[in-house]
A and B are shown apart, each in its own frame.
Chain A
Amino acid sequence: MVACAAREIGDGDVVFVGMRLPLLAFALAVSTHAPRAVGVFENGVMRDTPPRGPVVTMSDPPNLDGALWAGALSRAMALLAGGHVDLGFIGGAQIDRHANLNTTRIGPADAPRVRLPGSGGGCDIACAARRLLVVMPHEPRRFVERGRPPDQPRLRRRPRLARAGRAARLRVGHADHHQGGAARHRGHRRLRAGVGPPRRAGRRRGRRHPWGWPAGEPRAAPVTKAPDREVLEALRALDPERVWTGDG
């Protein structure tokens, strides 16, 4: 999943890197195919090399050592708001088929069943990055037909924002979804090697589809290329204790 997400970072991209898994995917990208990519972090850091040691948060000293810039959040956010960021890269708790992201709560506002930690900078990144990449584990509870409430930017409304990009992409454990500007809903673009297309049986009433909603044209979905050995080795070096990649 991290290797697939890292591939989305182009060499030379200015990437706004969110908490947790995006930290590792950015480090992997600059270690392998995108050595000229630049990462901006909401705590106020900008760097163009992998952190000098394993990190759990973007404020860990190895992410500041050798950085190009360390200062205020407002200056990093100004790059984003000013339209200078090519790719925004975030995690998320829950997403629906229209790409509404939910990071705030599950259940009603006055009596939530689960209170999630909240947006952090995710909402800011989703609003202003020209392209948006969301990476999250592939669990049915995270993929819902319609999220209530959609606390995060509704991506189908992104064209209403002046600088918003036209495409958003979602990387998950087993599949790669895509929402183009004109698409009515997302379908699978690719499946990870070894994962079969969703079965029709999954659409039966009363049975929960593993993707949370029926996928379009599953048989046409090509298989994502497995990461090369050197990419996997780079990933292991960045996460030696398997903090982020413990599930393989």
Chain B
Amino acid sequence: MPDKVLTMREAVARHVPDGARVACGLALEAAIPFAFAHELIRQRRRDLHLVGPIADAVFDQLVGAGCVAVIEAAWVGNVTTGTGYCFRRAVEQGRPRPLTVRQHSNLTISLALQAAAWGVGYLPTRTALGSDIAGDHDGFKLVACPFSGQPLLAVRALRPDVAVVHVQRADRRGNAQACGNLGISPEAVGAAATVIVVAEELVDTGTVRARPELTLLPGALVTAVVHEPGGTHPAPLQQFRAHDAAAYRDYASASATEEGFQAWLERWVLGVDDRAAYLARLGDGRRA
């Protein structure tokens, strides 16, 4: 079986081109792959189309760094403090570049990915009926149930080019095991053409075989494995790391202005070579 382990730099360079449709931050507030997003920023990816539910502050950072053309999500901000200032500047002022937002609810983005994972063009739901989300963009269409005539909302399938999940452990072949709340990770990895697994721990296949019910995705469907301990900070990771609320508050204060965001970006993303350097800058007390 092939060894799929790459560094984060290699994984981004090989598998995430400009303009890619990228699903990440899929477990809502937990297991957010900040290390992946920061590498996207360092490699100056442009025109990305981001897909996610509530991906905490990671979408705000990518928008502020000028990497994003389109966001298809249910919520964009900073869950600890509320507002995503980079997101607001992009939508309200077109800075650093204009942004198209295709508004979803958490359930409609889940269904859009599930439709793609199951190979159908749409899935029907009753959610969002009677709301303006249902008319926000061409990913929704009002239809009638073919059996009862009941009004339903058809949610168009959405197929990411790349899905990125940070999991507790994986082997070198990509067999990936996750625990805790998963959010929309299962449908996103099922829908994506390419899956990058970021693993807190690299384990042997025997460890995977001992608990197969924890496997989020078998390695046959995984393109690359990145071993990146601490890759979710400041987001929590069940069994490994708490939520670092102070880091989110610091980010909110800094990103309230463009200058502040640039200074934050320089200190925490552009000014460090990789995640190991980020964690060293953070210091021992804040990593876990």
Contact = CB atoms under 8 A, between A and B. Distances in A.
Contact of B77 (A43, A81, A117, A150): A117
Label chain B's interface by main secondary structure. Answer: loop
Interface in B109-168: 110, 114, 125-133, 150
A124 B106 contact: yes
B28 A43 contact: yes
B106 A162 contact: no
Contacts of A112: 91-92
Contacts of A74: 107, 110, 114, 184, 186-187
Contacts, number: 183
Nearest to A164: B130
B238 A61 contact: yes
Nearest to A44: B181
Nearest to B30: A59
A61 B77 CA distance: 21
Contacts of A157: 130
Contact of A72 (B29, B79, B105, B184): B184
B183 A60 contact: no
Interface in B203-245: 235-236, 238-239, 242-243, 245
Contact of A56 (B88, B186, B245): B245
Nearest to A19: B79
B53 interface: yes
A46 B133 CA distance: 27
Interface string A61-72: 100100000111
Interface string A39-55: 00111110000000001
Interface string B235-277: 1101100110100100000000000000000000000000000
B74 interface: yes
Interface in B86-113: 87-88, 91-92, 101, 103-108, 110
Given A151-B132, A160-B130, A119 B105 contact: yes
A120 B75 contact: yes
A81 B236 contact: no
Contacts of B66: none
Interface in A71-90: 71-74, 77, 81
Contact of A104 (B108, B132, B239): B132
A81 B91 contact: no
Contacts of B243: 55-57, 59-61
B157 to A, nearest CB: 15
Contact of A117 (B27, B80, B82, B184): B82
B84 interface: yes
Given A64-B238, A124-B128, A45 B181 contact: yes
Interface string A8-48: 00000000000110000000000000000000011111000
Give the most central of A60, A104, A117: most B CB within 10 Å.
A117
A71 B103 CA distance: 24
Contact of B75 (A56, A64, A117, A243): A117
A128 B106 contact: no
28 contacts: A19-B54, A43-B27, A56-B245, A57-B28, A59-B28, A59-B181, A59-B236, A70-B180, A71-B181, A73-B28, A74-B107, A74-B186, A77-B106, A81-B125, A112-B92, A115-B87, A117-B76, A117-B84, A118-B75, A120-B53, A123-B105, A123-B127, A124-B107, A126-B131, A128-B127, A152-B131, A153-B130, A243-B245
Interface of A: 19-20, 41-45, 55-61, 64, 70-74, 77, 81, 104-105, 112-115, 117-124, 126-128, 149-154, 157-158, 160-162, 243
Given A123-B133, A151-B132, 19 more contacts: A20-B82, A57-B29, A59-B236, A60-B236, A73-B184, A74-B186, A77-B107, A81-B127, A104-B133, A113-B92, A114-B92, A118-B77, A119-B74, A120-B53, A120-B106, A124-B106, A127-B129, A154-B130, A160-B130
